[in-house]
Structures are given as C-alpha cells and as structure tokens.
Structure 1
Amino acid sequence: MTTPTTVLTVAGSDSGAGAGIQADLKVFAALGAYGTSVLTAVTAQNTRGVDAVLPLPPQTVSDQLDSVLSDFTVRAVKTGMLGTPAVAGAIAEAAAAGRLPQLVVDPVLVATSGHRLGVVEAVVRLLPYARVATPNSAEAAALTGAPVTGVAEMTAAARALAAGGAEWVIVTGGDVDTGDEAVDVLHGPDGTTVLRAPRVPTRHTHGTGCSFSAATAVRLALGDPVPVAVAAAKEYVTRALAGARDWELGAGRGPMDHFGWSA
C-alpha cells in the first residue's frame, strides 16, 4: 500500500461523535486519508444538544499544531470550532506563515442544536487565508450581517465573503427551504455555480457541516480543483445522510453514515 495522504483537522470534540474532531477523522478515514488532529475545545454533547464547552488554552492548541506539522507532511487543513478569539489568533498566525496548506474554513458558530460555539470575529480572522470557506446559511448571515433565506441571498453572501478574503466560498443550503432539493452556492475566481442534489428526508443531520468541510479538505489534498472537491463532498454527504435515514442513534438529531454501512 502506498503511503496515505495526511490531512489535519483543527476543531473541538463532540462526545456524541457525530460532529467535530470525531466526525472529521471518520470522514478522512472513509475517503482514504490519514487524519491528524488539533483539539481546540472539549464539549459535552449528544444528539439533543450541547451541555458544556471547555475551550483549551491557546498555547495548548499551538503546541498540538507544532507537534503535528513538525512530523507529518500535511496536504490540507480544515478548521471547525475554534472557541475563542485567542485560539483563532494562534491558528491565523500559522496560516499567515504559510503553515496551513489548502485551508478549508468551516465557520462553526452555532451547533445544530442551536448552542453558540464560536464568535464571528474569530472566524473573520481566518477568512483571508482560506482556500475554501464553507458556511451554512445561518453562519453566512452572521458573517455578512444580512439575512440568508434563499438562493439569491446565498449567492450574495458567497460573493461578499469572497470579497472579504476567502479564495472560494460555498454557502451550503441544507438548512434553507428550497423544496425537494438541497442547494449550495459556490463562488470563486471562476464565477458562481449552483450545486443541487435531492434533499434527504431525515432527522440524522448532526455533523453535516463538519463532514462536508472535511470531505472537501480530503479531495483538495488528493489534488482535486475546488469545484470538483466540493461537488465530491456534496455527493459524499448526500450518501451519508441517506445511509443513516433509518438509524435509531440518540433521541435528537443523530449522526450520519460516514462509512457507508447502510449501503
């Protein structure tokens, strides 16, 4: 077997393992990459919500990052929950120094349950270094200060965030009422593209944003151009949602089928 490609996730933990570091590592493994991790916070959460959040000290985060980058050849990095402006500052410094290749920024501001997990200012610091930013509609609205309730607003938000520094922005629309389709809007140097897929009727949507950004990072690490990477990530998430549709894990918004067990 050839040496696997290494990808890094910088994010918080999820004790229910549907999102965060745990979900990212599942996605990396499912798509054939070797996953490394930098933990930014410890959360107590399950499918029903977030019960507690403990951010880690910025120095602890930096120490983890230095350990990984000094030993592994990381081909792509994704960030998720950063927790505090100080932690975001440490990650932004590493990005500015060119240490975070193919950076995918998932601006985790609010958990699926509604619990606030980050601050807007922390995410804004990272956007100028992002190869791809992957906000959902609520995150895009928080970052731009304008409502995002349909495809036109998603397009405007993607363009605004790209103007703010990110090379490519994809506003994911799983949480937008677009009928039987799940619609995402990608904007970058090549213009604007609308991605569509059948909407999967399921309550098991915990970790969709984490998984989408993680899949994008893997595809970038493997050499895909951004439009191909995000299209592949969307296909992966659609399959994972469909696979877990009939699962009975937890009483709330359950996890997805990252490994295709139900295929």
Structure 2
Amino acid sequence: GRQGREMHASQVVIDVPAIPLIEVFLLVLIFQLYRLTALVQEGVKHLRTLNVKKATMQSASSETPAKVKERSTSTPNPMVSRPLQTSSQLFRACYLGETDVNVELLNDALRSYCPLIQQIGAFTLLSIREVHTNVGKIESSFELAPVRYRSMRELLEAEIGAGMHQAGGMLSDPSAAMGMLWARRGLMFWVHIYQARIDAMPGQNERDALYMHKSVEQAYNKNILPFNGWLSQKSFQLALKAVPSDLPKWAPSEDLLTADLTEWVQAVTNLCSRMEAMQKELDLEDLRKS
C-alpha cells in the first residue's frame, strides 16, 4: 500500500562519483596562488619603499669587470633598468661583521626579491609563497627583541636556549631557525639557475627551447628535492610546466645582464655561506623531508 511505496522510495541510493585526487590538489593550488596575489602586491610596495631608502647607497657597479664595462654601449639607470643590482645591494647589506647576518635586513631583502622573480612568470608563485612563509617564521622570534635579535647568531642561540629545538638538527616548526633554513635553500635554488644562465653559451636558450626548463629542474633537484615530501614534489612538477624559455630583460645588454647575474650570485652565495656555517655550528641543519 502507501506505506510500502514510501519505504521503497526511501531506499533510493545516489551514487556520487569519486573526485580524482589530482583535481582536488589543483583546486587547492589555484586557491593558494590566488592568495599570493595580495602578497605579491605588498611586496611591490615594499620594494618601491626600499628603493627610495637605498637610493643613496654606493653603487656596487665598481665591482663589474672592466671588460664588461667596455663592451657596454649604454648607460642604464641601475634603480630602474637593472633591478638585479638593487637586489644585490640589499643582500650584501645583510652582512653583519665578519660572519654574522643582519636578520632585519635579510627579511627586507627577501621580501623585495619577490616582485623581481615574479617577472619571470607564474612558476615563481610557489617560491614567492615560501619566501613570505619563511619571513613570517623568522619574524615571530625576531620581534620578541628586535635590537638584540638583529644578529642571526643571537636569535638562533636564543631559540636553542629556550629549548625549541632538539639535538641532531630536529628543528621546531614554526621557528626562526626553520624559516632561515628554507630561506637559504630557496636562495641557493636561484643561485643555481642564474649560474647556469651565466655559464650558457650565447644563444643557447634559443637553440634549446627547454634550456631554462632544464636549469630550473636541476636547481630544484640539487637544492630542494632532497628535503621535499610527496606533495611538495608534485607542486613543483606542476609549476615546472610554466617555466619560460629565458629570464626577463633585466639589463640593456646581454653583457650587462651577465655582469648583474654574476654580482647577485656572488652576494647571495656569500650570504648563504654565512647562514649555513652558523646553522651547522649550532646543530640546526634539519635534513628531514617537509
């Protein structure tokens, strides 16, 4: 009767198809990239502010090889047409004494670098997200005592004294030590890419459309992959599909671009060497996968 028909209707089963894991992952990634837009805009404003503050700094162009200067036929504005020079100055300004690093200036240099690498293309958005994440971790401890903790060594020793980290490089996360560790790895990723561009034969990226792609992949395999878990690896593989064929025109000529890339690589490599030496000395080199 009527009751039987109602019971029969209540037994209808709706078969909902399973959502593929990769589609869920892509949706999450798209959402994260959307959130990065606001961070990038903030970074642009921050870079403009720092450019004004650094306008009076002595130009590092005196370190450019004389032969490079002779080959150049133009006189570019270093604050506008040669942004790598500005970035090199900011990272070099982080040197504190003979072996230490100025944490406040490091955070400024990292933030200011984000709008620069954004010009390379969409694949850099994951790197930009990591920069802001790492800076946030560093600032969480730094802001407890901005004067004293301007020294990277003082800041790391304070975290150790507070019992935040375990022996064997087992870092607490979030922490300044973890933020600095990954900030350093991220910088060395770009050092590897730029060095490959410096070492390339003229026109190599034109003869090999995947040259830049290969350089980025090699940089990741050397500096990041050993410490990335499955999800991070998949995120990079997706980003890798958006790698362009070459770097932006950050200088008026190829010779000047090579000179600016060389200057940046030297400044950042020296900075990262200081950071690595301190973290290894203090047993803060975490080798676990993220």
TM-score (normalizing by structure 1): 0.28
Larger radius of gyration: 2
Higher helix share: 2
Please state which structure has a larger fraction of its residues in strand: 1
